[in-house]
Amino acid sequence: MLDHVLRTLSSDTLLACLIPTLLFFSSLYFYGIPSLSELRQNVAEIVTGRRRTTFGHFSVERAALSYQQYAKLSRNELATMRASYAKLGRAHKRVGYDLGYTAKLNRLQEATAVNAKVSEGIVQLAQEQFSDRLSYLDWQGAGTHGDLPRVRESLKHFMRDWSEEGREERANIFGPILDVLNEVTAPGRRGMRVLVPGSGLGRLAWEISNAGFAVTANELSFFMNLAFRFLLSEKTTQRVNQHTLQPYASWFSHQRTIDALFRSVNFPDALPRLSRNLELAECDFLTLRPPSPLQAGDLVGYDFVVTLFFIDTSLNIIETLEHIHGLLKPGGSWINLGPLLWTGGGQASLELSLEELLRLADIVGFDIAADADGPRRRRMIECEYTADRAAMMRWLYQAEFWVATKVR
Ligand SMILES: C[S@@+](CC[C@H](N)C(=O)[O-])C[C@H]1O[C@@H](n2cnc3c(N)ncnc32)[C@H](O)[C@@H]1O
């Protein structure tokens, strides 16, 4: 009897041990040997049912977590501001109160709630559209801290790209680019492809697609991509000016009045949708390949590459220019407008002056006609970037505009 029990037990036990052992060794064979910390993390994930991973700075996971944490992180910041105020002596607190400073802090709390409606809408849509990647996230944020400045920057882009308030700034920088593209006859545009790398919240790409070109809006950062998707989706955005933000509320500096600080901006002033003329490429621009032609017998590559406030984000500007060159058709045009604000701290391999950059364009195989007339004229354009028009401080770029032709 005991013998039978032992035999049954040992064959069942053997089977029970053999299968996981086989699975374990085959996973080692296919995926390699995990480190001790990876093993510990995997076990913790199995036990808690939550995935704790470090994500890329611009990944969909990090962006979604950051939008989700927007309200919490903003409230933490407000708590710090309240604590600083509370340190004042009684007499000064009284003056602060009479000035309305505590009421101002309360208005900041209200503004955060207004903005959080948008950030929560963005997260909800992201959870639906990226359920495969986001359903395992630790939403309590124990492992990953949200990036509040990047969320705020993207929210400001709603103002610049998609509100009446941003119209003047857009006209100043989109205008010269659209003037060059508008030189192509309307029928001619139908067979032409345009790439907009670093397209941000997509307004320029959308404008170009409305003019009749087939446009690829390429953006690496999911802080931008999730926000643009929020506008593109019929689920989250059905009407012009449906949403409201108070985009300036978080920075008390340089404000003339409290009303200016807390002013609301409605958006979007137009309804963007993906179409045959507008597609997204949510990836690193350097991984893009030249597209096949739209018309039989045409050449491979884009007719135009349009870079707006983009090239100076490159860590290797030589690679960027070579890649723009490689993506264009022979004879195609690269339209550029922007400053040279290189990523600091020695992160960029080269931080070129304008003079050096123009020589590099020539080495790579571009011709920038210095004496071109009309819309293609190389020139300096004074412009701003997501500026607060009512503030006491304005950051003015003397940006450079050129149209370069792929000649070699
Ligand atoms: C200064 S912003 C300008 C955005 C947009 N062109 C505008 O004017 O609003 C630069 C943008 O380029 C994006 N970017 C930087 N490197 C990129 C890359 N390798 N591939 C795609 N996008 C990139 C950034 O995420 C950012 O949104």
Q: State which of 219, 323, 335 you would mutate to test the pocket of ligand 1, scoring each by most atoms of that ligand within 8 A of its C-beta.
A: 219
What is the reported pLDDT for 371? 81
Residue 11 domain-assigned (yes or no): no
Residue 157 domain-assigned (yes or no): yes
* Pair (245, 357) in one structural domain: yes
* Pair (205, 309) in one structural domain: yes
Q: What is the pLDDT of residues 298-344, one digit of tens each?
A: 999 999 999 999 999 999 999 999 999 999 999 999 999 999 999 99
Q: What are phi and psi of 176, to 5 degrees?
A: -60, -35
* Pair (282, 321) in one structural domain: yes
* Pair (240, 350) in one structural domain: yes
Average predicted confidence (pLDDT) for the chain: 90
Query: Which range has the worst mean pLDDT, 41-55, 197-211, 279-293?
Result: 41-55
Pinpoint the alpha helices (H) of 87-202: 90-99, 101-129, 131-134, 148-162, 167-181, 186-189
Chain centroid, CA 249 distance in Å: 21
Q: What is the pLDDT of residues 97-124, one digit of tens each?
A: 999 999 999 999 999 999 999 999 999 9
Instruction: Supply the CATH number for residue 348's domain.
Output: 3.40.50.150
The percentage of residues in the chain with a pLDDT greater than 90, rounded to a whole number, is 80
Confidence of residue 200 (pLDDT cuts 50, 70, 90): very high
* Pair (122, 157) in one structural domain: no
Q: State which of 220, 280, 324, 347 you would mutate to test the pocket of ligand 1, scoring each by most atoms of that ligand within 8 A of its C-beta.
A: 220
The percentage of residues in the chain with a pLDDT greater than 70, rounded to a whole number, is 86
What residues pair up with 217 in beta bridges, in sequence order? 196, 280
Confidence of residue 24 (pLDDT cuts 50, 70, 90): low
Instruction: Give the 3-state secondary structure of residue 174.
Output: helix
Residue 5 domain-assigned (yes or no): no
Which protein residues are within 6 Å of ligand 1, measured from CB?
197-200, 218-221, 224, 284-286, 308-310, 313
Q: Work out which ligand 1 atom sits closest to the CA atom of 196.
A: 6
* Assigned token pair, 2: 């005991």
Percent of the chain as helix, strand, coil, to the nearest 5? 50, 15, 35
> How far is it, in rounded angstroms, from Cα 2 to Cα 17?
22
Using the predicted structure, report yes or no on whether residue 64 has a pLDDT greater than 50.
yes
Comparing C-alpha atoms, which of 279, 263, 170, 271 is closest to residue 215? 279
Q: State which of 221, 226, 306 you would mutate to test the pocket of ligand 1, scoring each by most atoms of that ligand within 8 A of its C-beta.
A: 221
Who's near 116: CB < 8 A, 6+ residues apart? 70, 71, 74
* Pair (84, 154) in one structural domain: no
Q: Which of 134, 166, 195 lies at the terminal end of a domain, its last residue?
A: 134
Compute the distance from residue 312 Cα to the ligand 1 centre, in Å.
9
Q: What is the pLDDT of residues 117-157, one digit of tens each?
A: 999 999 999 999 999 999 888 777 556 689 999 999 999 99
Compute the distance from residue 133 Cα to the ligand 1 centre, in Å.
23
Compute the distance from residue 295 Cα to the ligand 1 centre, in Å.
30
Chain centroid, CA 178 distance in Å: 22
* Pair (73, 39) in one structural domain: no
Average pLDDT value for residue range 80-91: 98
Using the predicted structure, report yes or no on whether residue 32 has a pLDDT greater than 50.
no
How many domains, in total, are found in the chain?
Answer: 3
> How far is it, in rounded angstroms, from Cα 275 to Cα 43?
45
* Pair (165, 206) in one structural domain: yes
Q: Report which protein residue has its CA nearest ligand 1's atom 5.
A: 200
Asked if the peptide bond before residue 339 counts as cis, ω within 30 degrees of 0, the response is no
What is the reported pLDDT for 9? 52
Query: Which range has the worst mean pLDDT, 191-195, 292-296, 349-353, 390-394?
Result: 292-296
Cα→Cα distances 106→82, 109, 152, 263, Å: 10, 5, 19, 15
Domain region containing 201: 148-406
* Pair (31, 102) in one structural domain: no
* Pair (153, 127) in one structural domain: no
Residue 306 domain-assigned (yes or no): yes
Residue 143 domain-assigned (yes or no): no
* Pair (265, 308) in one structural domain: yes
Q: Which of 134, 164, 191 lies at the terminal end of a domain, its last residue?
A: 134
Using the predicted structure, report yes or no on whether residue 80 has a pLDDT greater than 50.
yes
Q: Report which protein residue has its CA nearest ligand 1's atom 26.
A: 198
